[in-house]
Amino acid sequence: MIEKLKEKMEEIYKANNTVIDPKKNLILVIIIAVCAFAVLGGIYFFTGDIKYLVIAVISMGSLVFYAVYAFFKEKRQDKRSEKDKQDFLSGAKYRQPEWKTAYYEYKENHPFETISEKGLVHDLKKRYRKHNWVCIRLGILLTVGSILILFIPMTEIKDKATAIWGILLGGVIFSVGLHGIISGPVQKFLKQQTDLTEIEKSYTKGKMLSFGDNGINIGSRYTVIYTHKCIYAIDNNSIQDMTRKMVRVKQYEDNLYSGQEYRYYVRVIYTAPDGKTKAINVRLDEFQCEMMIDEFNRRIYPERKYDSTTLEITENSVSV
């Protein structure tokens, strides 16, 4: 049940990331503004009340102005991103003295993470636990708060119904967090491994970086990757390449362009046990990606000077 709930939440998230055509959206906003203006203008025509005409001119004019502004802002950002894309693909960005200086400063102030002395299992559980505890605490808080509302003597019937829903929702959130700790990705990972002793030796001596729900550890023999869903242990001899990946995410509010952000990933390309070539994207920040690729090249391909790069452009991401 918990797994189905998680899948449903992911489907809702993906549904919100819909594709928006800027031109069609601008035309739609103008049509809505014209229709609204016509309605308010009609009210003014029949009533003679000047306030309706003032409201129509100010509100609809402001809406159209902002929609046109957002449209051209998006177009300007598209042109700039094209240059960023070329600099990224050619590697020119990473050869700029300013970028190198910033990278070395970051590297000096943000060393690789310390791995728990208790070993791989404890370290991974600790990393997952900090996210699942948020769900557990939120679930407890929501449940307790709803119970208190339910037993307050002056509470109305409709408030009690809301409280009951709060108790149910709190229980579900608590269950999701508890499930993540008891039988989450770490337990599944342990059941799948046949060479756990060697993986742990490699992990405890490896270089580790994490970002949000993602992390990567490059060890002497294995590269261990964890995401919010699962954990991978990849033999270093099967890794074909480790590259950068940049994703441009365009953000919208009420279907109007509001900005963008770049997300950076380390893309690990490897040969799976079945002989197929697969890839895993691990989200890190820009400098963390460079640190991991440098470490990979140092361990696996010490003769390499530059790494290859891939780029992905996401058309839209709707902020709600």
Burial of 291 (0-12, 13-18, 19+ CB in 10 A): buried
What tens digit of pLDDT does each residue of 32-75 get? 777 877 877 777 777 777 877 777 778 777 777 878 888 888 88
Q: What 3 state SS string does 112-173 have? A: CCCCCCCCHHHHHHHHHHHHHHHHHHHHHHHHHHHHHHHCCCCCCHHHHHHHHHHHHHHHHH
Distance CA 267, CA 316 (A): 22
pLDDT of residue 308 exceeding 60: no
Distance CA 38, CA 44 (A): 10
The CATH class of 186-319 is mainly beta
Mean pLDDT of 231-247: 90
Q: Which two tokens stand for residue 29?
A: 């906003």
Distance CA 250, CA 318 (A): 8
Residue linked to tokens 């016509």: 38
Helix (H) / strand (E) element for 302: namely none
Alpha-helix residue ranges (DSSP H) falling in the chain? 2-16, 22-47, 50-55, 61-90, 97-109, 120-150, 157-182, 185-192, 196-204, 286-299
Quote the mean pLDDT of the chain: 77
The torsion angles phi and psi of 240, rounded to 5 degrees, stand at -80, -40
Q: Is 254 left (phi over 0), alpha (psi -120 to 50) or beta?
A: left
For the entire predicted model, the pTM comes to 0.69
In this prediction, residue 320 carries a pLDDT of 34
Distance CA 50, CA 70 (A): 30
What tens digit of pLDDT does each residue of 7-22 get? 544 443 344 445 566 7
DSSP letter at 70 equals: H
pLDDT of residue 4 exceeding 50: no
